[in-house]
Amino acid sequence: MNINFQKIFSDYFEQVTKLIPNIITGILVLIIALFLGKIVFKTIVKVTRKKWQDSIISNFLAQVIKWVFYLFGVIMALNVMGFTGLATTVFAGAGVSAIVLGFAFKDIGENFLAGIILAFKRPFEIGDIIEIQGDKGTIKDLDIRTTHLRNAEGKDIYIPNSSIIKNTLTNYTKDGILRINFMIGIAPECDIEITRKLITDYLKTNKNILKKPIHNVVVQGLGEFTTDIQVFFWIDILAVKNLPDEYLGHNIRSKAITDIKRILDENNIEMPSQVIEHKMYRQNKLSIEGK
């Protein structure tokens, strides 16, 4: 049986040569679709943000439409290249391939649907401070797959949207106010009411501390060497949430502790000191004589 390899390669080269114009055209179609997708994305973001004043929905909608353009470009490119029929035949007849692809793109589809829920359910806004599974940061962006956070250390964290839907989310800035607390220990002999009044007067004069909800100073417990006083006050977290060094009011808390310590020192309210009593026992004379 004689096989004419020259004719086979000649036919193959001729077929490839015929496909080259289609391939080039398909690539051009894909490039144009990608280019148009980016232009449409920027245009939609600009127009919708002005109209809706809602950066999350405008950005998410623009992302979806951009990827629709990309998908349309891929389909058109395959059609121009002549591969659409082949791909349809393969996937229609291969149930196993469909299952494999379904599992492969499961996370992508899950994150996409979660992104839609987050965009319209609105558990947070751009600029809010949230915590999810130990990751705490300021919301910077939401796209079709991930939510972008930036933490107090300046690290960028990208959390899959499905993780936010499935897990407990803490939003520190939803209502705009946050309660801060800390403990102060004073010596048992110091007057509790005088101490409470000194701290309360200071809280009233601190401009960073809200007048409502009202602050509170309570005795938390009485110990052998200390009287523990718990201080509670509220701050406007929206006023400081864009400053990383002010994260969750830590600087306000630190300054309040420092100021209160100074005020208590000036009024002779002492911090607790642990008193240790040492006892010396005489040795038994009989045991000494017996040695």
Strand partners, 218: 230
139 in any annotated domain: yes
Cα–Cα distance, 29 to 83 (Å, whole number)? 14
The helix or strand, by DSSP H or E, that contains position 179, with its residue range, turns out to be strand 177-186
- On whether both 199 and 245 belong to a single domain, the answer is yes
Last residue of a domain, which of 75, 104, 133?
104
Are 125 and 241 spatial neighbours (Cβ–Cβ below 8 Å)? Answer: no
Question: What is the bridge-based pairing of β-strands 227-236 and 216-222?
Answer: antiparallel
Q: Which of 17-31, 129-143, 144-158, 226-240 has the lowest mean pLDDT?
A: 17-31
Domain extent, residue 33, equals 5-104
pLDDT digits (tens, 9 = 90+) for 202-254: 999 998 899 988 999 999 888 778 899 999 999 887 775 554 444 555 778 88
pLDDT digits (tens, 9 = 90+) for 147-159: 899 887 888 999 9
CATH number at residue 135: 2.30.30.60
Pairwise pLDDT comparison (91 vs 130), residue with the higher score:
130
User: How much of the chain, in percent, has pLDDT values that exceed 90?
Assistant: 20
- pLDDT winner (highest mean) among 15-29, 144-158, 273-287: 144-158
- On whether both 209 and 130 belong to a single domain, the answer is no
Say if pTM beats, i.e. exceeds, 0.75.
no
Residue 230 has which token pair?
């718990």
- On whether both 84 and 166 belong to a single domain, the answer is no
Whole-number pLDDT of residue 14: 64
First to last CA, the chain: 117
Q: Is the pLDDT score of 262 beyond 90?
A: yes
Whole-number pLDDT of residue 277: 67
CB-CB neighbours of 151 under 10 Å: 16
CATH number at residue 94: 1.10.287
